[in-house]
Structures are given as C-alpha cells and as structure tokens.
Amino acid sequence: MNLRLIGIGAGVLIILSLPLAGAIAGPDGAGQDDGKGGGLFSALGLSDPSRTSPAAPADPARAAGRQQPGPAEQPRTDSRCGPELSSPHGVEAQTCVLVGEGRTWGRSYYRNTSGRALDAVLTMMGPAGRTVQIRCAVGAGDEPGLCETPKEDSVGEPEGYSAVAEFAVPDDEGELLLRSGSNSPAPGDG
C-alpha cells in the first residue's frame, strides 16, 4: 500500500514538473541563457526588463522605429493674475489674463458668500482698443466658480492685455460689491 502511494505521488510530481521543465528550457528548448527571453523567470513574468535581446525586443513597436502613443502633450498656458481680493460683502475674486496656443482670454475666479445671487461682468481689453465683455450669473452658494471670456486670436504682446471683473447686486441700483483686475496692485501697494 505504501508503494502504491509512493508511485502515485511520483507520477503526480512528474506530471506537475513537465510545465516547469518547459518553462526552464524556454520556447525552443535551448535553455534559459539563450538570450531569447525564455526561461523560468520570463515564464513567471519575473524577467529583468533591462535585459532584452536584439533578436527578440521587448517592445516590437519601438524595434520597428515607431513611436508608442503616449499621453497627449498639454499645450502651455501662461497667466498673469492680479491679487486675490475680498469685499466686506462676502465676495472674493482673482482675475487673470491667459495666453496659450496663439489665443488670449480673460478669466475671473470667484466665491460668493454674500447669501444672494450676483451679476458679474468680465471685460477683456487688448491692444488697439479691442474689447470683449461677458456677463456671468454668480449663484448664491459659496462654491468656487469662474467667469471666462471667449478665446480670441492674440494680437501684440501679452502685456498689452488686461481684464477686469465687476461683481454687483442684480437690481436697478446695481451696487458694486467688488472690482478685481488682472493688473491691479495688491492691497496696500498703492
């Protein structure tokens, strides 16, 4: 009976070791040091990626001289912003001029903690008297938001552009609560 169990155990070990022997030998049976990426380590996914053979490159697309598609390169956007300002009425804002891909636009980041809806007017002024203006509704919540002009083709130098955002109560009187500019001096600077 013990011999029978030993025989069965030996048979099972032989059957289980055949795939392991094939992995050690590699795909063509020439052994793990043949430089073709075969062997136990590569079969188990443990091969050293820095050791690749010219006969079997790890990246076929690179070997063919093609570029692998990677993450798209994001275009550069430059910004010139004024200081972060706040009013005693619960409005905070910072206004910027942005330049990227040959286009220029204005943007105002804001937060409204006044407890009431407001109107914002963002005006972008450029060289040669060019002006773009947009109205934005500013909700009564205190979540951050932004107001942005359309992107226009750039003309002249970026320093020739400025943006101003004005936040007001939307009624007949239109009480101005805050004015924020892209080239405003910081509070206390003048």
**Per-residue 3-state assignment (H helix, E strand, C coil) for 51-108:** CCECCECCCHHHHCCCCCCCCCCCCCCEEEECCCEECCCCEEEEEEEEEECCEEEEEE
Q: What is the pLDDT along the chain (190 residues), one digit of tens a residue?
A: 566 667 676 655 566 555 555 555 555 554 444 444 454 444 444 444 444 444 444 554 444 555 566 677 777 888 999 999 999 999 999 999 999 999 999 999 999 999 999 999 999 999 988 999 999 999 988 889 999 999 999 998 888 999 999 999 987 677 899 999 998 655 555 4
- What's residue 17's pLDDT? 57
CB 186 within 8 A of CB 87: no
Report the first-to-last Cα separation within the chain, whole angstroms.
102
- What's residue 10's pLDDT? 62
Dihedral, 48, 50, 54, 57 alpha carbons, nearest 10: 70
CA angle 186, 136, 75 (to 5 degrees): 70
- What's residue 32's pLDDT? 46
The encoded tokens of residue 19 equal: 């795939």
- What's residue 185's pLDDT? 59
φ and ψ of 123, to 5 deg: -120, 130
Q: What's at 133, amino acid-wise?
A: Q
| pTM confidence score | 0.58
